[in-house]
Amino acid sequence: DIAMTLVGDPRIIFLDEPTTGLDPRSRHTMWNIIRELVTGGVTVFLTTQYLEEADQLADRIAVLDNGKIAAEGTADELKRLVPGGHVRLRFTDPTAYRSAASALHDATTDDEALALQILSDGSQRDLRTILDRLDTAGIEADELTVHTPDLDDVFFALTGPTVPAQTKETTR
């Protein structure tokens, strides 16, 4: 389909869900083709429900909710709209976990997983602050992960919950 579209050397191309049903290798090949088109000066309008695809390819993104634009901007601009970034620390030693929870009093605790979650923007400064507090207390986490909001988080935050269709029951 893309080859036929390119025969006339168009300056604008509309691609509707171009990677639906493709395996990961073919999807990445398609992404490279789209990037090459853009580099060559072609304007590409892309519709996709794969938000990673939008994050990888789009200069500007519009998030639709019920046919209306809920927000638009660059991927980074949209991600900044959503709170929820955090650092997760996991421990294997319950004593170290409890000590870390005391040292990081603003952390949310998960006693079952021996894990702490601290609100963070994922910046180097935030990470350094958290790790310095652990170092000062002489505690080492077994695992550290950083979560920053992605476009899925943006979509869920901006589009609201899906309400299932209600059925009316009748009594006879």
Domain borders along the chain are: 2-59, 86-155
Question: For 40-70, how does the pLDDT look when each residue is reduced to its tens digit (9 = 90+)?
Answer: 999 999 999 999 999 999 999 999 999 999 9
Choose the CATH number for 2-59 among 3.40.718.10, 3.60.15.10, 3.40.50.300, 3.30.590.20. Answer: 3.40.50.300
User: Is the CB of residue 93 less than 8 Å from the CB of residue 141?
Assistant: no
HSE (CB half, 13 Å, CA atoms) of 40? 14
CB proximity list for 20: less than 8 A, separation 6 or greater: none
pLDDT attached to residue 8: 82
Q: Does domain 86-155 have CATH number 3.40.1440?
A: no
Mean pLDDT of 79-88: 88
